[in-house]
Structure 1
Amino acid sequence: MAATFMLEPAGHCCWDEPVRIVVRGLAPEQPVTLRSSLRDEKGALFRAHARYRADAGGELDLERAPALGGSYVGIEPMGFLWALEPEKPLVRLLKRDVQTPFVVELQVFDGHEGEGGRLLCQAVHERHFLAPGVRREPVRTGRVRATLFLPPGAGPFPGIIDLFGSSGGLCEYRASLLAGHGFAVLALAYFRFEDLPEELTDIHLEYFEEAVDLMLQHPKVKGPGVGLLGFSKGGDLCLSMASLLKRISATVLINACVANTIAPLHYKDMIIPDLGNDPRKHTTSESGLLDVMNIWNNPLEEPYRQSIIPLERAQGPFLFIVGQDDRSWNSEFYAHIASERLQAHGKDRPQIISYPGTGHCIDPPYFPPSRASVHAVVGVGIYYGGEPKAHSRAHVDAWQQIQTFFHKHLSDKKSLKPSKM
């Protein structure tokens, strides 16, 4: 009997959906090596492998069998994805075109002898970023440069504006996946995209206010307010939006700062200065990676207090998601400062979820944790922190927490299951 893969769901599913992998037709207790690989849109190769042993019936079920070594160990049904490592160092796995899937190649080889074993069986699995019926609509209205993702159905749907960090560009993969869970999500660019500024020198909150208005004028978006989801620099922008703009109903911040960072923020007659930093305070690892956590000025000290976002005007509720090993900045420290200031001004205490062993880049489930990569703007290798296994678990839990929070505060619905392909 030849060895065969059984995949459930078979063939394809959404990226954030788990898949069950079973290999049948092996010899009893046969040692085998499972290899997985994919190429991104730029051709970069990512690979993982793990050594297993079939059970007494000649079956290998990744939900029951522990990996004995390789890229991961223990019972890790999705390790073949989250443990993928780039062939070229410091390359981060990102999805640039959500209209096409990642194609994952799976192979099982006889024995534990690295590349030398005999190929026993192979399969491919497509991991999609648009659930069935999700619509992708480019937005070029007024100054706004964005992409709107709408769930299937008549709607209206609870709306979310999604902001990424200081690498710039238009990142759509988180928004496209969230739309598969019942949200209308606007992936919003704010620099380094089309006719937007190439560099962050001054930021005007009126641009983001225009995006809020655009969302709430859309017939498929349910009011009276929108939710905000921001990562890194996008997080402190979302905190500023929730504090200074109207019609913000709920805000999730992923490894964000309590102060305005990188560039002065303008809104009407107000200017919030940049927190600022001292690059001389960085450290360098033996491999030449920069650890920049300590370069930022302390917002609790003068004269940097002026950069703290005016939380006395904030509209809650807030959810802070933080990695305890965030090496880009001490986001847990900032989250607790925000909590104290919000409560001091009579606001509700925000929810803070802190993940041990987790670094700066918290993505949707099954993305390989990005512990270090070349920053798109800085152009050098940055160390982001985190331990792969703990970080991968944080991805899964944080994704569920985000959905639960927004369904509660934007639509009063419980979190939905991932959409089936």
Structure 2
Amino acid sequence: MQWMNRSLFRSFAGLTSLLRSVSGAVSYSAPARRSMSGSVELRVSPERCLFDDPLRLEVIGLIPGQEVSVRTELTDEGGESFTSLGRYRAGSGGELDLSRSPALEGGTFSGVEAEGPLWALEPRNGLRRFVKKDVRIPLTVRFSLHQEPAGDVLSTAVQERSFLGEGVRRIPVREGRVRATLFIPPGPGPFPGVIEIQGTGGGLLEYKASLLASRGFATMALAYYNYEDLPKDMKAFHLEYFEEAMNYMLQHPKVKGPGIGLLGHSKGGDLVVSMASFLKGITAAAVVNGAVANVAADLHYKDITLPAIGYDPKKATFPKPGFMDIRDVFNNPLEEPNRQSLIPIWRAHCKFLFIVGEDDRNWKSDFYAQTACNLLEEHGKEKPEVVYYPKAGHYIEPPYYPLCKAFIHKLVGLPCVWGGEPKAHNFAQVDSWKRIQAFFHKHLTQESPSSKM
């Protein structure tokens, strides 16, 4: 989701003041693993993997019943540290395997959670969203095993988690007006093609596209504003730009036709719905917490204009001092005069998948998905696939991404809550990532997903 236009700043100007007053190729050395005691060893496998791969952590050499903690730390490109803590008791043989051993109460996660050290990562600065910008450089995750309650370090291990699979080619695209990066999987191809569009943060983010390419899709990460010579602000968008990117993909020799897929999150979601509704050549469209109304900036295509939907800032709430909940701010696109902003999804000729976090605090993703179902059925079209995730928030990312609980909205300029509970949100990320890939395989390749995943 992103905010609407400059008038919003005037609407919230006084409130903002009040709240602020109170409130390239790189070479790598092999990961090291060492024991601090000589007999106890913390093992992580694999030592190198993709970011969306499962985690395996185990310990050998402990005393039966010994109480220890596993501490995990990840530092992002901006220098922010994300940490998690799991407390454990060794088994009768002195073993500890996170895929079987339950984490005790008192840490950032509990129960049998093999990937808990990753999905329970929390930023030391609460207003932080984890984002990977340079996918060419892996992230280093550091694990340390501590004696409890003294806290002495017994063993450490590190793991490299990458966003770029072996043999995946990263190709900057500067073709006509299109500003993007294309990722091509290894092998002769051609491959099912996907265009991935992010939300209103602007710029060019590649982490989803590179991971999808690592799983067998020729994927374009498409920028659409605030990047190089593209418009700097969200004033107005022209669908011809997105059509140009789509035609580039359809004509690429490594992209398998006859159609392509689209993946969009938040504002990228309503752009995906608009592309599917007006453009030809789209076979499958996956929308993650997106809208069926045009949001934030007017959208133009030939002689058609979809105005940005209206909003009422007075409907914002404050679940705790200094933090805004904007879920109810947007007007209902089914009511006049807001119907002008409704995207004519019934014009689309593709398959749809809607991923919905039921605790999305950015806007009513559940309402928008249901509206899409109703509109398609009313016009005799096939009902889309909709997957609802209870207690999942707005930023449904690839697996094991830390939950973004609150973050300063780039356009609003105030801290906003995004919703979600860590464990349930991680389940949504893992499950939806598999479903998105299966959806594209089914409709872009007509092959069994099991042969590709």
- How does the TM-score come out when normalised to structure 1? 0.97
Q: Structure 1 runs of 4+ off > 4 angstroms?
A: 416-419
**Maintained 8 Å contact 2:216/2:452:** no
Displacement of 1:417 = 7.9
**Maintained 8 Å contact 1:32/1:108:** yes
Q: Cα deviation per residue 1:15-58 (whole Å; 9 max; x = unaligned)?
A: 00002111101111100010000111111111111110010111
Change (3 A) 1:76 1:294: same
**Maintained 8 Å contact 1:24/1:59:** yes
**Maintained 8 Å contact 1:316/1:348:** no
**Maintained 8 Å contact 1:181/1:417:** no
Aligned to 1:206: 240
Provide the C-alpha distance between the structure 1 equivalents of 2:66 and 2:308, rounded to a whole number of angstroms. 60
In structure 1, list runs of 5 or more residues that go unmatched.
none
SS for the counterpart of 1:206 is: helix
1:306 matched to 2:340: yes
SS for the counterpart of 2:369 is: helix
1:60 matched to 2:110: no
Displacement of 1:418 = 8.7
Provide the C-alpha distance between the structure 1 equivalents of 2:449 and 2:113, rounded to a whole number of angstroms. 24
1:17 matched to 2:53: yes
Aligned to 2:274: 240
Provide the C-alpha distance between the structure 1 equivalents of 2:207 and 2:87, rounded to a whole number of angstroms. 31
Provide the C-alpha distance between the structure 2 equivalents of 1:415 and 1:187, rounded to a whole number of angstroms. 23
SS for the counterpart of 1:295 is: coil
Displacement of 1:375 = 2.1
Q: Cα deviation per residue 1:264-301 (whole Å; 9 max; x = unaligned)?
A: 11000000111121112111122411100111011111
Displacement of 1:345 = 1.2
Aligned to 1:350: 384
SS for the counterpart of 1:210 is: helix
Q: Quick one: which of 129, 135, 151 aligns to 1:92?
A: 129
Q: Quick one: which of 74, 81, 104 aligns to 2:111?
A: 74
Which one-letter code corresponds to 1:32 in the other structure? V
Displacement of 1:306 = 1.1
Provide the C-alpha distance between the structure 2 equivalents of 1:267 and 1:228, rounded to a whole number of angstroms. 18
Displacement of 1:414 = 2.7
Q: Quick one: which of 34, 42, 46 aligns to 2:82?
A: 46
Displacement of 1:343 = 1.3
SS for the counterpart of 1:34 is: strand
Provide the C-alpha distance between the structure 1 equivalents of 2:414 and 2:446, rounded to a whole number of angstroms. 44
**Maintained 8 Å contact 1:17/1:418:** no
**Maintained 8 Å contact 2:171/2:183:** yes
Displacement of 1:166 = 1.3
1:339 matched to 2:380: no
Aligned to 2:355: 321
Displacement of 1:313 = 1.2
Alignment of 1:154-193 (within 5 A): 154-193=188-227
Displacement of 1:192 = 1.1
Q: Which moved more, 1:284-293 or 1:143-152?
A: 284-293
**Maintained 8 Å contact 1:16/1:418:** no
Provide the C-alpha distance between the structure 2 equivalents of 1:133 and 1:416, rounded to a whole number of angstroms. 21
Aligned to 2:12: none
Give RMSD over aligned pairs. 1.2
Provide the C-alpha distance between the structure 1 equivalents of 2:372 and 2:287, rounded to a whole number of angstroms. 11
Q: Cα deviation per residue 1:300-338 (whole Å; 9 max; x = unaligned)?
A: 111001111112311221000001111111111111111
Displacement of 1:252 = 0.2
Aligned length, in residue pairs:
415
SS for the counterpart of 2:403 is: coil
**Maintained 8 Å contact 2:195/2:220:** yes
Which one-letter code corresponds to 1:29 in the other structure? G
Alignment of 1:255-270 (within 5 A): 255-270=289-304
**Maintained 8 Å contact 1:180/1:418:** no
Displacement of 1:376 = 2.7
Which one-letter code corresponds to 1:354 in the other structure? Y
Alignment of 1:143-158 (within 5 A): 143-158=177-192
SS for the counterpart of 1:322 is: strand
Provide the C-alpha distance between the structure 1 equivalents of 2:77 and 2:345, rounded to a whole number of angstroms. 41
Aligned to 2:141: 104
Displacement of 1:395 = 0.5
Identity of aligned residues (%): 54
Displacement of 1:5 = 2.0
Q: Which moved more, 1:141-150 or 1:273-282?
A: 273-282
Which one-letter code corresponds to 2:63 in the other structure? A
Q: Cα deviation per residue 1:176-195 (whole Å; 9 max; x = unaligned)?
A: 00111110000001011111
Displacement of 1:65 = 0.7
Provide the C-alpha distance between the structure 1 equivalents of 2:52 and 2:328, rounded to a whole number of angstroms. 33
SS for the counterpart of 2:59 is: strand
SS for the counterpart of 1:293 is: coil
Provide the C-alpha distance between the structure 2 equivalents of 1:351 and 1:277, rounded to a whole number of angstroms. 28
Provide the C-alpha distance between the structure 1 equivalents of 2:346 and 2:40, rounded to a whole number of angstroms. 63
Provide the C-alpha distance between the structure 1 equivalents of 2:413 and 2:354, rounded to a whole number of angstroms. 28
Aligned to 1:281: 315
Provide the C-alpha distance between the structure 2 equivalents of 1:287 and 1:394, rounded to a whole number of angstroms. 28
Provide the C-alpha distance between the structure 2 equivalents of 1:232 and 1:64, rounded to a whole number of angstroms. 36
Change (3 A) 1:417 1:102: farther
SS for the counterpart of 1:298 is: coil
Displacement of 1:254 = 0.4
Change (3 A) 1:302 1:85: same
**Maintained 8 Å contact 2:45/2:55:** yes
Alignment of 1:130-149 (within 5 A): 130-149=164-183
- How does the TM-score come out when normalised to structure 2? 0.90
**Maintained 8 Å contact 2:44/2:158:** no
